[in-house]
Amino acid sequence: MDELGQLQSEISGQKAGGLLGNIFLIGFMGSGKSTVSACLSEVFSIEAIEMDQLIAKREGKSIPDIFAQHGEAYFRGLETKLLDELSEKRGVVVSCGGGVPMREENVIKMKKNGLVVLLRASPQTILERVRNSHDRPLLEGHKDVSYISGLMEQRREKYEAAADITVSADGRTVREICTELVKKILEMRI
Ligand code: S3P
């Protein structure tokens, strides 16, 4: 059994993995929030919520269609409204859209009952991950390192200010990232 397996068996049996609060994963598009969220959900036996997926389901349309038909401001409003709901929950892991930490009020809502975890990845790693997908309207027509670096720079300060824990995703497996995170989360006793 590897380290993560051992941690998981120590945690298992406790309601909501023994967590009193929530975990909010933030980071740039393609930083791996959804896959890390799935791993944390399994280790702590808690529900995983993907904001983009839930918003798309409730609106009955894809994220690109929401942007195209209603504009970005409308989408940002939906994110903030959804965070109101999520901040009332206990014991969930939330994979946030990349733009969520850019609004101060969103950060306040995440911190209300939760720990904010930043997944950091280089522009090269991001490019590899988003290259073949078309579900991120802000990157359509801009799939290159210089555009990604520029947008990442614009967001860096807010991402870092929001984070309680930061982990690097570059060159690591999901299991490695998840192991580091579980240890850090347990240390923080949320
Ligand atoms: C966005 C990130 C996307 C999605 C939307 C806008 C952003 O989510 O919410 O396309 O502004 O960074 P992911 O980070 O899950 O790709």
Query: What is the reported pLDDT for 188?
Result: 85
Query: What is the reported pLDDT for 51?
Result: 98
Query: What is the reported pLDDT for 10?
Result: 87
The residue nearest atom 12 of ligand 1, judged by CA position, is: 98
CB contact burial 49-60 (16+ within 10 A = b; e otherwise): bbbbebbbeebe
Query: What is the reported pLDDT for 14?
Result: 77
Query: What DSSP string runs through 26-63?
Result: EESTTSSHHHHHHHHHHHHT-EEEEHHHHHHHHHTS-H
Query: What is the reported pLDDT for 17?
Result: 67
Where the chain has pLDDT below 50, the residues are: none
Q: Mutation test of ligand 1: which of 127, 136, 148 has the most ligand atoms closer than 8 Å to its C-beta?
A: 136
Query: What is the reported pLDDT for 15?
Result: 72
Question: What is the C-alpha R_g of the chain?
Answer: 16
Q: Kindly give the distance from the C-alpha atom of residue 4 to the centroid of ligand 1, in angstroms, as a whole number.
A: 29
Query: What is the reported pLDDT for 168?
Result: 96
pTM (2 d.p.): 0.95
The residue nearest atom 8 of ligand 1, judged by CA position, is: 97
- Ligand 1 site residues (CB inside 6 A) read 29, 33, 52, 63, 97-99, 136-138
Residues 119-138 have pLDDT tens digits of 999 999 999 999 999 999 99
The residue nearest atom 10 of ligand 1, judged by CA position, is: 136
DSSP state of 67: H
Round to whole Å and give the CA distance between 190 and 181: 13
The residue nearest atom 9 of ligand 1, judged by CA position, is: 97
Provide the β-strand partners of residue 94: 24, 49
Q: Kindly give the distance from the C-alpha atom of residue 185 to the centroid of ligand 1, in angstroms, as a whole number.
A: 24
**CB of 100 within 8 A of CB of 106?**
yes
**CB of 34 within 8 A of CB of 177?**
no
Residues 32-50 have pLDDT tens digits of 999 999 999 999 999 999 9
